[in-house]
Structure 1
Amino acid sequence: MAARGLSHARDGRTVMQIGDWTLQTGCHALLLGPSGSGKTSFINIVTGLLTPTQGELWVAGEAMSRLPPAGRDALRRRTIGLVFQTLRLIPALSVADNLALAQRLALGTADHAEIARLIDRVGLAHRANARPRQLSQGEGQRAAIARALCTRPRLLVADEPTSALDNSNATRMIDLMFEAANATGATLLIATHDGRIAHRFANRLDLVAPMANAA
């Protein structure tokens, strides 16, 4: 993943300014910065949900920022696993069916044995048939992590993935994300304020609030 001259403005004001930054394939990085520094904007640009107003963002050798919306959607499905702060699980589907749908969209087929293994790995085997509304916040976050991993992504992007988890489960989920990424050579980018996991990352991208935002 690489940013080149990357910045983003909204209503004439710069809300994110990174410039040039590269995260080598298979490396893991922490995205840090105070409120207003553009972390969410950067994540949305990386995942193709937002087009930067200046510069380029490359993912898996393709210029995500140059692609039309349909092309960005296709690249995201093929290469990126997402864990949002808002879980975005489909309410009408069970945990297992949420994972199966994600696999079909990304890979063309569902591997039910792999889905069961991941659900068990995040400690939700007893909740595999539960709907999202039946899960606690922590359970929902673990289900969202399993859904992101089940597509075997080349890039895993997570926004505050451990914020609703206790110490034991936070460690367990970070271990799982590292394990899954290392097994496939995937790149891992995590945005967080969680000091419990910061020491696990050698690479950091520290964002600062652009001066244009100062009042």
Structure 2
Amino acid sequence: MSGPDTPNHVNNAAGPLVEARGLSHDRSGQCVLQIGDWQLNSGAHALLLGPSGSGKTSFINIVTGLLTPTHGDLLVAGEAMSALPPAGRDGLRRRTIGLVFQTLRLIPALSVTDNLALAQQLALGSVDRAAIAQMIDRVGLSHRAAARPRQLSQGEGQRAAIARALITRPRLVVADEPTSALDDANAARMIDLMFEVAAATGATLLVATHDGRIAERFANRLDLVAPPAKAA
């Protein structure tokens, strides 16, 4: 999907984009996530599906370097995210991953345009205003480019969050429960938008949800189950 004008996508065919090796995680002596071996190749969008308590958020936090697994390794773009020091994790995340949080986490004091500009500056060290305008137009928010987050509807805010995640042209977009608060029609529109913009930028999607309505849209699924409670 990528082209020569997408520098963050260099070598995206060399092995899996995300790879778990013998991965599991414990909390207070109780297993809360059991993945084992799993991989996601570039362009092979995947759904991380499971009920509350199955470890979806833990896995997302491990993939993005916010949590160190108790056992095993997690590699992103061939680099062992779980083995890197904090500064190394920050760098790999900035270079490779775009995040769409369940809560939007847009900066309230900044406009939609400036939220995207800040994301670009932090990840790439420079700002491309033309690219920002194009991305905002692509997600249908040109008329709201100067608006601040509190002035946006829920749907507009979600589109702004997707635009922010994609403006750095990441190889991997990780979305945590992007449709959980939406009705059927808007959930479908949200996933349509994510696929459309990912295709345009060459990104791979990893979407964590308990929302079975969107499961059929993904050819690849990682179904999680809540680990059994530890015997007393």
Is the shorter-chain TM-score for this pair beyond 0.5, marking a shared fold? Answer: yes
Q: Which residue identity lines up with residue 45 of structure 2 in the other structure?
A: H
Select 2:94's aligned residue among 72, 77, 87: 77
Q: 1:214 to 1:120 in 2, by over 3 A?
A: farther
| Greater displacement, 103-112 / 172-181 | 172-181
Select 2:28's aligned residue among 11, 20, 27: 11
Structure 1 residue 214: Cα displacement: 7.9
Q: Which residue identity lines up with residue 103 of structure 2 in the other structure?
A: T
Per-residue Cα deviation, 1:140-163 (whole angstroms, up to 9, x for no partner):
111111100111010110012233
Matches within 5 A, 1:77-156: 77-156=94-173
Q: Which runs of no fewer than 5 residues in structure 2 stay unpaired?
A: 1-17
Residue 28 of structure 1: aligned partner:
45
Distance 2:42 2:189 in 1: 23
Residue 192 of structure 2: aligned partner:
175
Distance 1:34 1:213 in 2: 18
Structure 1 residue 168: Cα displacement: 4.8
Q: Secondary structure at the match of 2:229?
A: helix
RMSD over aligned Cα atoms: 1.8
Q: 1:208 to 1:166 in 2, by over 3 A?
A: closer
Distance 1:95 1:163 in 2: 23
CA contact (8 A) 2:62 2:69 kept: yes
CA contact (8 A) 1:96 1:116 kept: yes
Per-residue Cα deviation, 1:42-94 (whole angstroms, up to 9, x for no partner):
00000011111111000011000000111101100000000010111111111
Structure 1 residue 176: Cα displacement: 3.1
Distance 1:145 1:122 in 2: 8
Distance 2:152 2:110 in 1: 12
Q: Which residue identity lines up with residue 10 of structure 1 in the other structure?
A: R
Q: 1:151 to 1:214 in 2, by over 3 A?
A: farther
CA contact (8 A) 1:99 1:147 kept: yes
CA contact (8 A) 2:169 2:202 kept: no
Structure 1 residue 187: Cα displacement: 2.0
CA contact (8 A) 1:145 1:161 kept: no
Matched, 1:188 2:205: yes
Matches within 5 A, 1:47-62: 47-62=64-79
Distance 2:231 2:54 in 1: 11
Structure 1 residue 184: Cα displacement: 4.3
Distance 1:13 1:196 in 2: 30
Distance 1:206 1:31 in 2: 6
Report the TM-score when normalising by structure 1: 0.92
State how many pairs are aligned.
215
| Percentage of pairs with the same residue | 83
Residue 7 of structure 2: aligned partner:
none
CA contact (8 A) 1:122 1:173 kept: no
Q: 1:77 to 1:190 in 2, by over 3 A?
A: same
